[in-house]
């Protein structure tokens, strides 16, 4: 019989065992370990420094070695996280596996909603995308940031504020569904400073999404949407596809069936970590600010995944160039046709190619196989591209160009030759015959590729804006009651936008009439004509006189005078500024009063004078000149307009800063409307940098994206008027 080991021997044995485990783990995890969401390519494809190896097409042996290593990593990771793939088999979520093109669309996009007609224009929006780049499979409808936080409406309230309320939004979603497009909305777990939803967020979001029949939810800034959200949606019988913006944990892959891919683009395309762990997991590459989308599209095609075709970025247009648009059309057309292949568990990235800089993925499905191929070189390549196993009865097709290939056979191998454009694409099929769907793809692609991608312009263009004209008033011969004369003359108008994102890129903020492009920083010496301006913002009592005289009733009345009850303001609110009025409501009042809304530079001159002061009262912040900030989750009332006399400007204009925002100019481009707000407000929701920022200083302004009166009205936005002087 064996001797019982001593304590020292047992300890030594345990140490050896631990070292073996560590060594095994190291061998599994440290070779080709993913960097965040990207698995690096084989060493052989990396162009190395002089004197080093690498920088050539991989041999079959090198490819197999890499594939063996990353397959072992995948197998171990799935075991370590206890991966349960059940949700990928749910019929309600199966659509995500073939959802390749998904723009993030701002609700303020003028192709999506017509405020004049007062209706959603889903067909116009989709027809434009069909025409420009081949259409979309899903849409992320962005209803919150950057406007959220201007008052206490939370992320759910912002959806409810959209035209038509819940019923109108549901009908709009139905319009997308009628065109075969799935619909997602965002959720922001950083939204903890506005109105409390009154129930846990998972249940609140699930209930709202069910009420509008949405298909999925994007988790803004989230590194994985927690399981509780999926469970809440499934509990009420409305499963949702959750899509975090940032990389989730490998464990969360089981319930996050979609993900954004925010990649670093290098020469050799990387393999998406989550796509590799579960090929049914859909990734949409998101690269919002880049003006060249070649990397996005080529990495997506190599990985058999999708692209966030995002152009309207917080009202800043980063449009797709004609070349990228045509490449998108071709990639989308191919991926939709071969979607069943792109979930193949037998996916082999970096299938050996003949030419350096050409990268292929092999996707087997029964007796058929496709290869998705990208040419990362800046030059055309023609000739032998792939060597594949030869098999009796198998035909080979260049699906990209829509023609059958004649292979050169070498024993058990078949060499396939075809052309690839610089930064172009290839799609090869090996199959006994063509299915009707693939025959249709052949015909379609032959027509599309008859025109080379290089013939389309790759020149990016910003989107010009124009200011909406404000008609002058009849000149007042004497100072109208309640107004202050602002003498005209030379004025240095210097102002900057306080948008959170966009940096100093062209297209950020607005384009004044004297500028040749939109930009964040503005400076212009101008001659301002004399004008009269209201000493105080229009109050509730003043607005009531307008209503009584005109019986004004806006066609889109949602949120109109939301604080009022039974046609009047709450007790004690007569001298508070009127809020919950849209820019259209303010213009209607001004017309009745024989006045107009101020141009922004007029508002700023009235607040600043000619000495360039930072605040109406001087260059130092004075807390007594403004209301006490409201940092709660429920919006209190603004202060009376006359409550802070120490806040007067050099001309004696009052209540300019810190009580309510005030409407001034409107700017329009082909896709977006926006209004310039001045003065900032007393409301400061806490807990996040993403809420609508304040602009208290005289040289700053806020830009509020406009959609429709119901959505644009706010509990912190009012107005004052001006009249022209002789």
- The predicted-structure confidence for 388-406, as pLDDT tens digits, reads as follows 999 899 999 999 999 999 9
Is the per-residue pLDDT at 491 higher than 60? Answer: yes
Give the sheet arrangement for strand 403-405, strand by strand.
348-351, 358-365, 368-375, 425-431, 395-398, 403-405
pLDDT in tens, 538-564: 999 999 999 999 999 999 999 999 999
Report how far apart, in Å, the C-alpha atoms of 481 and of each of 221, 478, 585 are.
51, 9, 22
Percentage of the residues of the chain whose pLDDT score is greater than 90: 90
Report CA Rg, the chain: 31
Residue 412 pLDDT more than 80? yes
Q: Is the pLDDT of residue 1 over 70?
A: no
The dihedral region occupied by 512, where left means phi > 0, alpha psi between -120 and 50, and beta the remainder, is: beta
**Quick check: 672 pLDDT over 90?**
yes
Note the Cα 716 to chain centre separation in Å: 26
> For residue 73, is pLDDT > 60?
yes
pLDDT value of position 6 = 40
pLDDT at 284 over 50: yes
pLDDT value at residue 8: 37
What DSSP state is assigned to residue 589?
H
Tell me which of 3.90.1640.10, 3.40.50.300, 3.50.50.60, 3.90.1580.10 is the CATH number of domain 468-724: 3.90.1580.10
Neighbours of 169 (CB within 10 A): 26
- The mean pLDDT of 515-542, rounded to a whole number, is 98
**What does the pLDDT read at residue 477?**
86
Tens digits of residue pLDDT in 556-600: 999 999 999 999 999 999 999 999 999 999 999 999 999 999 999
Residue 362 pLDDT level (bands cut at 50, 70, 90)? very high
Residue 201 tokens, joined: 């967020």
DSSP class of 658: S
Q: Cβ(123)–Cβ(156) under 8 Å? A: no
Q: Measure the CA–CA gap between 515 and 525, rounded to whole angstroms.
A: 12
Which distant-in-sequence residues (6+ apart) come within 8 Å of 103 by Cβ? 129, 136, 139, 140, 308, 309, 310, 311
Q: What are the DSSP calls for 66-125, one per residue? A: HHHHHHHHHHHHHHHTT--GGGGG-GGGGGGGG--B--EEETT-TTTEETTTTEE-HHHH
DSSP sequence for 119-168 = EE-HHHHHHHHHHHHS--SEEEEE-STTTTTSSS--HHHHHHTSTTHHHH
What pLDDT score was predicted for residue 47? 65
Spacing of C-alpha 28 from chain mean position? 37
Detail the DSSP E strand segments found in 617-709.
661-668, 673-678, 700-706
pLDDT of residue 54: 57
Average pLDDT, the chain: 94
The sign of the dihedral angle between the CA atoms of 394, 398, 404, 409 is negative
The pLDDT of 157-182, averaged and rounded, is: 98
CA distance 191 to 294: 35
C-alpha distances out from residue 529 to 42, 523, 567, Å: 69, 18, 38
Q: Residue 521 forms beta bridges with which residues?
A: 496
The answer, yes or no, to whether residue 4 has pLDDT greater than 50, is no
CA distance 303 to 33: 17
What was the pLDDT predicted at 324? 98
**Is the CB of residue 653 less than 8 Å from the CB of residue 708?**
no
Determine the pLDDT at residue 12.
Answer: 43
Task: Give the pLDDT confidence score for residue 49 in this predicted structure.
Answer: 54
* Type and span of the H or E element at 490: strand 489-497
DSSP-based three-state secondary structure for 290: coil
pLDDT band at 56 (very low <50, low <70, confident <90, very high): low
Is residue 53's pLDDT more than 60? no
Q: Out of 54-68, 442-456, 473-487, 689-703, which region has the weakest mean confidence (pLDDT)?
A: 54-68
Q: What is the mean pLDDT of residues 56-66?
A: 83
CA distance 605 to 489: 10
State phi, psi for 159 to the nearest 5 degrees: -70, -45
**What are the residue ranges spanned by the domains of the chain?**
11-42+58-80, 468-724
What number of CA atoms fall less than 13 Å from residue 393's CA on the CB side?
4
**Gap between the Cα atoms of 171 and 621, Å rounded:** 49
- pLDDT for 25 beyond 70: no
Contact (CB, 8 A) for 661 and 701: no
Given a cut of 50, is residue 294 above it in pLDDT? yes
Mapping DSSP to helix (H, G, I), strand (E, B) and coil, where does residue 528 land?
strand
- Name the pLDDT band for 27 (thresholds 50, 70, 90): very low
248/425: higher pLDDT = 425
- pLDDT of 448 over the 90 cut: yes
Those residues with Cβ within 8 angstroms of residue 529's Cβ, 6 or more apart along the chain or in another chain: 488, 724, 725
What span, in angstroms and rounded, lies between the C-alpha atoms of 169 and 219?
A: 20
- Identify the pLDDT of residue 34: 86
How would residue 45 be classed by pLDDT, with cut points 50, 70 and 90? confident
Q: Are 263 and 271 in contact (CB under 8 A)?
A: no
Q: What pLDDT band is residue 222 in, cutting at 50, 70 and 90?
A: very high
pLDDT at 57: 72
* pLDDT-based confidence at residue 46 (cuts at 50, 70, 90): confident
Confidence check: pLDDT of 258 > 70: yes
Residue whose token pair is 């409808």: 141
């Amino acid at each position: 019989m064996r001797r019982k080991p001593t304590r020292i021997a047992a300890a030594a044995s345990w140490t050896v065992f631990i070292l073996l485990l560590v060594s095994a783990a190291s061998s599994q995890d440290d070779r080709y370990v993913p960097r965040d969401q990207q698995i690096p390519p084989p060493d052989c494809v990396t162009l190395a420094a002089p004197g080093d190896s690498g920088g050539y097409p991989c041999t079959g042996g090198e490819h197999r070695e890499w594939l063996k290593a990353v397959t072992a990593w995948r197998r171990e990771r799935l075991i370590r996280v206890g991966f349960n793939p059940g949700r990928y088999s749910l019929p309600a979520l199966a659509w995500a596996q073939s959802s390749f093109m998904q723009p993030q669309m701002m609700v303020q996009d003028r192709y999506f909603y017509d405020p004049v007609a007062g209706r959603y224009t889903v067909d116009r929006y989709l027809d434009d995308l069909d025409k420009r780049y081949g259409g979309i499979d899903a849409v992320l409808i962005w209803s919150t940031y950057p406007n959220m936080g201007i008052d206490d409406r939370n992320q759910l309230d912002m959806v409810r504020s959209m035209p038509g309320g819940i019923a109108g939004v549901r009908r709009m979603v139905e319009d997308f569904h009628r065109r075969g497009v799935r619909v997602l909305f965002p959720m922001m777990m950083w939204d903890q400073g506005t109105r409390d939803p009154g129930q846990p967020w998972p249940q609140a979001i699930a209930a709202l999404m069910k009420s509008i029949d949405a298909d999925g939810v994007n988790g803004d800034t989230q590194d994985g949407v927690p399981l509780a959200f999926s469970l809440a949606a499934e509990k009420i019988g409305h499963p949702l596809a959750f899509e975090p913006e940032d990389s989730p944990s490998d464990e969360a892959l089981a319930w996050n069936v979609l993900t954004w891919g925010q990649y670093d683009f290098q020469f050799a395309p990387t393999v998406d970590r989550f796509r590799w762990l579960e090929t049914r997991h859909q990734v949409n590459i998101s690269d919002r600010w880049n003006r060249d989308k070649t990397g996005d599209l080529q990495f997506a095609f190599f990985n058999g995944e999708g692209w966030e075709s995002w152009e309207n970025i917080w009202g800043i247009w980063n449009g797709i160039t004609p070349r990228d648009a045509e490449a998108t059309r071709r990639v989308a057309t191919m991926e939709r046709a071969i979607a069943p292949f792109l979930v193949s568990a037998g996916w082999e990235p970096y299938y050996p190619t003949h030419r350096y800089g050409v990268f292929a993925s092999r996707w087997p499905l029964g007796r058929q196989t496709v290869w998705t191929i990208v040419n990362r070189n800046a030059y055309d390549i023609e000739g032998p591209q792939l060597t594949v196993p030869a098999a009796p009865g198998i035909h080979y097709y260049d699906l990209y160009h829509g023609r059958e290939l004649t292979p050169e056979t070498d024993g058990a191998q078949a060499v396939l030759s075809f052309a690839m454009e610089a930064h172009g694409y290839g799609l090869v099929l090996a199959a006994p015959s063509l299915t009707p769907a693939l025959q249709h793809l052949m015909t379609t692609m032959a027509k599309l590729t008859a025109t080379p991608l290089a013939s389309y312009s790759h020149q990016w263009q910003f989107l010009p804006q124009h200011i909406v004209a404000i008609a002058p008033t009849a000149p007042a011969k004497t100072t109208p009651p309640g107004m202050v004369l602002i003498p005209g003359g030379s004025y240095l108008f210097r102002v900057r936008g306080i948008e959170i994102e966009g940096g100093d890129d062209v297209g950020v903020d607005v384009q004044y009439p004297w500028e040749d492009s939109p930009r964040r920083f503005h400076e212009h010496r101008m001659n301002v004509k004399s004008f009269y301006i209201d000493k105080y913002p229009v109050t509730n009592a003043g607005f009531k006189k307008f209503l009584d005289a005109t019986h004004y009733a806006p066609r889109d009345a949602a949120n109109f005078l939301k604080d009022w009850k039974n046609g009047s303001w709450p007790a004690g609110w007569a001298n508070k500024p009127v809020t919950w009025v849209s820019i259209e409501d303010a213009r209607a009042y001004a017309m009745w009063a024989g006045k107009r809304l101020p141009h922004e530079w007029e508002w700023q001159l009235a607040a600043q004078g000619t000495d360039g002061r930072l605040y109406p009262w001087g260059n130092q912040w004075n807390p007594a000149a403004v209301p006490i900030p409201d940092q709660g989750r429920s919006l209190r009332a603004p202060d009376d307009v006359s409550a802070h006399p120490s806040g007067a400007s050099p001309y004696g204009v009052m209540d300019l800063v810190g009580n309510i925002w005030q409407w001034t100019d409107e700017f329009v481009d082909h896709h977006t409307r926006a209004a310039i707000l001045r003065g900032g407000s007393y409301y400061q929701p806490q807990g996040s940098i993403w809420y609508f920022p304040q602009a208290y200083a005289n040289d700053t302004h806020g830009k509020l994206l406009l959609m429709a009166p119901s959505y644009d009205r706010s509990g912190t936005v009012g107005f004052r008027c001006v009249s022209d002087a002789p």
